[in-house]
Structure 1
Amino acid sequence: MLFKHAEALAPQAAMPGQPVIDHMLQFARGQHERGKLAEAQHGYRAVLAIDPANAYALHLLGVAHLHNGEAEAAEPLIARSLSLGLGYGWALANHGAVLVRLGRNDEALAVLDRALRLEPRLAPALVALGNVKLALQQYLEALSAYDAALAVSSALPEAWSNRGNVLRALNRPADALISYDRALALTPNEYATHLNSAHAWRDLGQCDRALQAYRTALVIRPKTVDVLLACGGVLQLLGREEDALACYDEILEANPHDVAALYNGCVVLDNLHRYDALLARCDRLLALEPDHALAWLGRGNALEGMKRHADALVAFDSALARAPGLDAASNNRGVALHLMARHADALESYDRALAAGPSAELYWSRGNVLQQLGRHDDALDSYEQALVSPTDTGHAWYMRGLSLQQLQRHAEAITCFQRAQELDPALFTAQAAEAFCRLLTGDFAEGWRQHENRWRDPSIARHRRHERQPSWSGDASVDGKTVLLHAEQGYGDTLQFCRYASLVAARGARVILEVPSALTQLMESLHGPSEVVSMGDPLPSFDLQCPLLSVPFAFGTQLDTIPSSTPYLQADAENSRIWADKVDAAARPGTLRIGLAWSGNPAHNNDQNRSVPLEMLAPLYTQHASFFSLHQFVRERDAQSLQDSGLIHFGTELKDFSDTAALVNALDLVISVDTSVIHLAGALGKPFWVLLPGVPDWRWLLEREDSPWYPQARLFRQQKPGDWEEVVARVARQLANRCAS
């Protein structure tokens, strides 16, 4: 476009050697049109060495600088050419384009107005006008200018590309992509257009297409930092955290001090729960920027993940000192205090943070602390407050759903979890919450199906085993095949779902069961497996594999088809005799023998809602019965209570689940919070009572005192979130009746 009207130059005064100069200009212009900018510039300078006032050579040398990205060098050359009388519309358009590039927008508008007065349909001037209007964020006027230019000529890649940028700014990414496609049809290797096209695909949520476009831009300009950062961001949205981390690490290989790459890498490492690496990277970032509040937040998250609660508290305070409105730091600070059992301090932290503005997450966390403080009505009020907090992000909708669950409004909670996923497809916690909420409400068909999406969560997928082997999801025949069923999560899940081994065997399969070593001996009593293998030991060959928590999905389990026949595990006979003798020797004559368990795995993500201090069960163990601790180890907080309680505690004599099974076998009843001991008792066919929080684990369902998984179970549920006192009082009354009878 910049040479179109060159032939309209006014004749310059004849001078000696003019034919030579004309020939030199023609040659340089040819080099310019072929994109050989260095050669063109050399030619223009050769002309100017002979004729320093050659307006044409000055102007085109300036244009060559502009094409080479050297606007500062271009502007004085073009301005001088205009002062020498080069006042044509196309020359003014070039000057306007340079001024736009330099950000001198008011001057550009004046120059372009002159150009368009001379030639109202001058496409280069219209494109430059669109560019200056785009720079001024006057998007509708910019769109009008580009459309006017394209009405003159449709072969203007810059106009099509920048028109796409205007449409993106107007929140019309689908229309923008049409413009980018037209631009790329004319200039297939234009870096900026591929980059902006990628942005538009990302705007539309088409992350795979965006990633493809970003990678094309990287082919054109390898190792470009901004594009690598964008690639990493899209890969995170796709749940490909490790690949995203590789993008950020590639930036850091070239520039170890790139703050954006360091911070984005911290986010990925936090999502992956790689706390040692997260701590090290946060420290690298803080060495460069000591006041980086989000790096302090990441450091606190790393220390919290490492159970260094006091150190985490210092980091969260450092984050808040630099960014007082950082909700995540306020919330995580409260969580650290909560885990340190400093509940009053945690409440004060949440209240101080909420004074700065409402937050669904803070209200939800505040409700949990109020539960621990026994302020159950206040806890419900806090959950209600979470419902009126701003909900314009996926995370806020997720927290709203959790609050609705605490309020027993499960259908509304599911709607919130769905909305959270629409806003943030990579919010895997919302996907899991919806699956578990559906299972909790008895919607097994959809719940099992959605539970299979757990492998999309990088924090879960990194623990996945045997995924490279062919999987079984229930459709294919297993007759004559060897199927590996393998433990996936905790002891309780393994004890509950190992029952399916006999159903797989009934379909004609040879079943191998892989379980934690603490369960191996006990699982030898299970009907169905041909072989039981401890995790970590060599496996025999197999044809298909299925994690234990996927087997109910494979069988299409519904409430009325749960395999509920018990017992399906047996305590070892000799071990049972030994432990029966121990129980006989320790029990009070003529009394019921009752096993108690009051806490589960401290690392469980719901431990604070399902575990209780031992002293809270005093209304039970002070009754006329013989009470046995079913714990191998007790927490420090319970050590004195255990010593004062009179419970019979065998401690480390319980070497594994085989010993615990033999002990349970010698008892009349097990009373426990929701932990693996309950599933052990259920698998052995032993009567048990389970104390459940207001929102229990999905397997206990809602509003029932029995369990379709264990016929001998009796469920005691909280009536208000966190109100264990009322539950224990109810259990105590029933136990008193049982003892009296």
Structure 2
Amino acid sequence: MSAEHKGLQGPAMLAGTSAVRAAVGDTLLRARALLQRRETAAAQRLYQGVLLIDPDNVEALHLLGVACLQAGDAKQAEPLIVRSLKLGLGRAWNIANHGAVLVALGRYAEALAVLDKALQLDANCAPALLALGNALLALGRWPEAQAAYEQALANAPGLPEAWCNRGKVLRALNRPADAMISFDRALRLEPANDEARTHRGHALRDLGRTEEALRSYQLALVARPKAPELLALCGSLLTDLGRDLEALGCLDEALLQRPNDVQLLYQSCVALDRLHSHADLLTRCDRLLALAPDHPVAWLARGNALQGLHRYPEAVEAYGNAVARDPSLTDAWRNHASALRMLGRYADALDDYDRALAKTGANAELLYNRAATLQQLGHYDEALTSYEAAALVPAETAQALYSQAMALQQLRRDSEALACYRQARETDPNHGIARRSEAFCRLLTGDFAQGWLQHESRWSAGDTIFHRRYTDRPMWLGAEPVTGKTVLLHAEQGFGDTLQFCRYAPLVAALGATVVLEVPLALKPLLGSLRGVDLLVAQGGVTPPFDLHCPLMSLPLAFATNLDTIPAEVPYLQADPGRRQAWRQRLDEVSAPGRFRVGLAWSGNPRHNNDENRSILLEHFAPLYGLDATFISLQPLVRERDKACLAQSGIVNLGAELSDFADTAALIDALDLVICVDTSVAHLAGALGRPLWVLLPRVPDWRWLLDRDDSPWYPTAHLFRQDKPGDWPATIGNAAQALSGWIAEKRAQR
């Protein structure tokens, strides 16, 4: 004690010193209680107060250091604990705390040396063993870390940190089930331990228990609301579960806190891509590429966005940037080729597929797309060979199985295709397109019972999820009586689907319902002729109150439709008599007297997902329009590629005079025959009960079925089918031969 202190030993000061000591002692007791309850901020304030009175108080120094460590400030903790040790603290527990600080600072070699001293003093010191395990865990020395944690827990089984970190070690040793036991023990001791909850989610994910893993991350979020790393984990799992909209919500919330986080931006691009939200995806990709211009998958996603927006030249450029940065990116090569095909550059696309196959080896998806490209190049036998190769590739992923199934369908091995579709959805229950395609394949082969049921899975596919409406209202699928109730029937997809399935409205009305039919605005004038509809409304207009709703394409399920019960009484739509007469007069102006009048439609909506298989170049129609009849174009839109051919063909082009579907219906009603591909014109002519010839690809849309030249949906239709995938010349040649005979027969009848 210093001389100055020795001079202050009067009776009054002794009393004061005694009072101060009592106050310090009381403060230390209160601080220790706070520290045990992990109220570190309050404990720190008390210890700092003690040190103002007694700067060398070893307990205050040491435990203030412990409090700083608990608060995550190891840098401030270290000098405090070191000083307390120099002032005389030397028990194993104190030295263990120094080791723990060194571990927190990442100074593992020093930590191991310090902890060795602590364990020499007390081989069973649980804090020293815990800190040792943490150092070994950080160094990746898993078995030694496991042994340290287990020795610590043998002496102090109530250490949640030891249980949690033992679980981390067991995960690292590829023992997730055992790790789960450790995390559960930690959570029993400390239910609010968000770290244990998070790592428990990791173990569940390792075990493939995705739903449970998501729940574990969500519970961790309760302890740490809006933690971006937890939101990212939830987003990732929701994407795995096919819940892309929810995933995007989590990722967007995380991005509010970390707007420049490249990984979060990338994950959100994946969700947007799967949701087919192309405009938003493009904006997000540009944001990501501003931060990481050489991110190859960001360029791939940007290409997907541009292709979805039908900006094909830009998509080609984006995919080119992706493969330039990562030549092994198979998806980029495949999608680059797809964009080239949309531009009619089939030979270049074929080169892309061959280049990708040289890198990957046999790949079902690449071989399938290569076959489709060969079709477009007119190499029909080579296309079949490529489909056969796709069907032979061993497939393990859902996407590969899906591609294999489509190839098997082209080979007309439908039972094998169904098995592949089923295996694809079992491999990945969230592969919505595989489930939908299985439904279509069942319907195509006439299995309506299973097909209609599975067709409801269409709502889980990314390209339809945004089209689903009225999800908050009761849906009718035929189970409950509708007498006296108002039922809203609403269109969900294309014009052709609406024209085909509006036929069910009179059946719903016959059950005693008040029927409200909601259809695209372009169809409203025409569908005013449909029986059984009490109120017709246009999409986007005001929908009246209703009790139940049903999408039009779910009505066959509601009525348990089979091949024998298809409601096929035609016509169920009527052309306006005044418009029909006007068109007859117009046709008299453009057609020689006595000539048969044949309507042609050779291509549909270019944005249809199967357009390249169903639409035909007009030049291929030459064997038809060269015959002795007046041919009328029913195309409201003529593509750039067909304009020159149309101008030279002699076909009467009245497309610019067609104002809506009611006009097209009246024109069709004034014709002798309609010949078209699978487009809305076919459904319109069929619904009007007009003579109709439909040209179909080898694997047509499901509604046309297989191996028949008639349609149970449209009694006046005659079907012409491809024998080989893509072989339109042969199909059109057959139709031209039939048309020549039809003209001769009709003339003879006259």
When normalised by structure 1's length, the TM-score is 0.88
| Structure 2 CA distance for partners of 1:564 and 1:314, relative to 1, 3 Å | same
Give the C-alpha shift of residue 88 in structure 1: 4.9
Deviations 1:242-264 (A, max 9, x none): 44333333334344323233333
1:558 aligned onto 2:562: yes
| Structure 2 CA distance for partners of 1:506 and 1:36, relative to 1, 3 Å | closer
Give the C-alpha shift of residue 62 in structure 1: 4.0
Deviations 1:636-677 (A, max 9, x none): 111121122222222222222222222222333322111111
Residue type at the aligned position of 2:671: L
Separation (CA, whole Å) in 1 of partners of 2:80 and 2:721: 83
1:321 aligned onto 2:289: no
Matches within 5 A, 1:350-389: 350-358=353-361, 359-387=363-391
| Structure 2 CA distance for partners of 1:205 and 1:687, relative to 1, 3 Å | farther
CA RMSD of aligned residues (A): 3.3
- State which of 457, 461, 467 in structure 1 corresponds to 2:465: 461
Residue type at the aligned position of 1:738: W
Residue type at the aligned position of 1:626: T
Structure 2 residue aligned with 1:5: none
1:403 aligned onto 2:379: no
Separation (CA, whole Å) in 2 of partners of 1:317 and 1:408: 35
Structure 1 residue aligned with 2:725: 721
1:35 aligned onto 2:38: yes
Matches within 5 A, 1:209-224: 209-224=212-227
Structure 2 residue aligned with 1:673: 677
Separation (CA, whole Å) in 1 of partners of 2:150 and 2:342: 61
After TM superposition, the structure 1 stretch with the greater mean CA deviation from structure 2, 599-608 or 629-638, is: 629-638
* Residues 436, 461 of structure 2: 8 Å contact kept: no
| Structure 2 CA distance for partners of 1:582 and 1:48, relative to 1, 3 Å | closer
- State which of 188, 193, 215 in structure 2 corresponds to 1:190: 193
Give the C-alpha shift of residue 406 in structure 1: 2.9
| Structure 2 CA distance for partners of 1:715 and 1:134, relative to 1, 3 Å | farther
Separation (CA, whole Å) in 1 of partners of 2:86 and 2:406: 71
When normalised by structure 2's length, the TM-score is 0.87
* Residues 237, 425 of structure 1: 8 Å contact kept: no
Structure 2 residue aligned with 1:8: none
SS of aligned partner of 2:368: helix
| Structure 2 CA distance for partners of 1:686 and 1:174, relative to 1, 3 Å | farther
SS of aligned partner of 2:540: coil
Structure 1 residue aligned with 2:160: 157
Separation (CA, whole Å) in 1 of partners of 2:386 and 2:298: 30
SS of aligned partner of 1:532: strand
1:289 aligned onto 2:302: no
Structure 1 residue aligned with 2:12: none
Separation (CA, whole Å) in 2 of partners of 1:420 and 1:84: 69
Separation (CA, whole Å) in 2 of partners of 1:39 and 1:132: 29
Structure 2 residue aligned with 1:704: 708
SS of aligned partner of 2:607: coil
Give the C-alpha shift of residue 75 in structure 1: 4.9
- State which of 732, 735, 739 in structure 2 corresponds to 1:731: 735
Separation (CA, whole Å) in 2 of partners of 1:296 and 1:373: 29
Structure 1 residue aligned with 2:449: 445
Give the C-alpha shift of residue 116 in structure 1: 5.2
| Structure 2 CA distance for partners of 1:114 and 1:657, relative to 1, 3 Å | same
Residue type at the aligned position of 1:622: G
- State which of 302, 305, 327 in structure 1 corresponds to 2:305: 302
Structure 2 residue aligned with 1:135: 138
* Residues 252, 258 of structure 1: 8 Å contact kept: yes
| Structure 2 CA distance for partners of 1:23 and 1:579, relative to 1, 3 Å | closer
Structure 1 residue aligned with 2:598: 594
Residue type at the aligned position of 1:489: Q
1:228 aligned onto 2:228: no
* Residues 214, 230 of structure 1: 8 Å contact kept: yes
| Structure 2 CA distance for partners of 1:486 and 1:89, relative to 1, 3 Å | same
Structure 1 residue aligned with 2:657: 653
SS of aligned partner of 1:633: coil
Give the C-alpha shift of residue 109 in structure 1: 5.0
| Structure 2 CA distance for partners of 1:139 and 1:415, relative to 1, 3 Å | farther
Structure 1 residue aligned with 2:7: none
Structure 1 residue aligned with 2:275: 272
| Structure 2 CA distance for partners of 1:360 and 1:101, relative to 1, 3 Å | farther
Separation (CA, whole Å) in 2 of partners of 1:76 and 1:327: 55
Identical columns (%): 56
Structure 1 residue aligned with 2:347: 344
After TM superposition, the structure 1 stretch with the greater mean CA deviation from structure 2, 189-198 or 110-119, is: 110-119
Give the C-alpha shift of residue 416 in structure 1: 3.5
| Structure 2 CA distance for partners of 1:448 and 1:201, relative to 1, 3 Å | farther
Separation (CA, whole Å) in 2 of partners of 1:163 and 1:652: 75
Unaligned runs of 5+ in 1: 1-15
SS of aligned partner of 2:664: helix
Give the C-alpha shift of residue 276 in structure 1: 3.0
Separation (CA, whole Å) in 1 of partners of 2:397 and 2:118: 48
Separation (CA, whole Å) in 2 of partners of 1:555 and 1:24: 80
Residue type at the aligned position of 1:66: L
Separation (CA, whole Å) in 2 of partners of 1:96 and 1:419: 54
SS of aligned partner of 1:296: helix
Give the C-alpha shift of residue 27 in structure 1: 5.5
* Residues 158, 183 of structure 1: 8 Å contact kept: yes
- State which of 687, 691, 694 in structure 1 corresponds to 2:691: 687
Structure 1 residue aligned with 2:259: 256
* Residues 236, 426 of structure 1: 8 Å contact kept: no
* Residues 240, 458 of structure 1: 8 Å contact kept: no
* Residues 591, 739 of structure 1: 8 Å contact kept: no
Separation (CA, whole Å) in 2 of partners of 1:725 and 1:112: 83
Number of positions where the alignment pairs a residue of Structure 1 with one of Structure 2: 726
Give the C-alpha shift of residue 429 in structure 1: 2.3
Give the C-alpha shift of residue 110 in structure 1: 5.5
Give the C-alpha shift of residue 617 in structure 1: 1.2
Structure 2 residue aligned with 1:247: 250
Give the C-alpha shift of residue 390 in structure 1: 7.4
| Structure 2 CA distance for partners of 1:648 and 1:42, relative to 1, 3 Å | closer
Structure 2 residue aligned with 1:629: 633
Structure 2 residue aligned with 1:3: none
Residue type at the aligned position of 1:531: L
Separation (CA, whole Å) in 2 of partners of 1:459 and 1:491: 17
Matches within 5 A, 1:433-582: 433-457=437-461, 459-582=463-586
